[in-house]
């Protein structure tokens, strides 16, 4: 997600969309980490984290039996 730095009172800040707050169950007072690096660094890290999350979900699924696997191919 690309966000623009905006003026907030006497400071500058970044607004996080309400949908993103809800999706990640964030609320006022929660702490978030913002990583600033070379262009593309953040996207690469987020892609890696998404792949890691997908892998963990896959590993958490119960293993299929050979019979279930054969039924799926029919």
> Could you give the dihedral angle defined by the CA atoms of residues 12, 17, 18 and 24, in that order, rounded to the nearest 10 degrees?
-100
Positive or negative torsion for Cα 54, 55, 60, 65: positive
**Rounded distance, CA 61 to CA 41, Å?**
31
**pLDDT 10s digits, 20-50:** 889 989 898 888 887 776 666 666 666 777 7
At 61 the pLDDT is: 77
**Rounded distance, CA 74 to CA 32, Å?**
47
- Phi then psi for residue 35, to 5 deg, are -110, 125
Domain range summary for the chain, segments of one domain joined by +: 6-61
């Amino acid at each position: 997600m690309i966000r623009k730095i905006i003026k907030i009172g006497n400071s500058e800040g970044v607004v996080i969309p309400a949908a993103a707050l809800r999706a990640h169950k964030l609320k006022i007072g929660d702490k978030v980490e913002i990583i600033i690096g070379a262009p593309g660094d953040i996207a690469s890290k987020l892609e890696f984290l998404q792949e890691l999350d997908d892998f963990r979900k896959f590993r958490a699924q119960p293993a299929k039996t050979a019979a279930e696997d054969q039924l799926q191919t029919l």
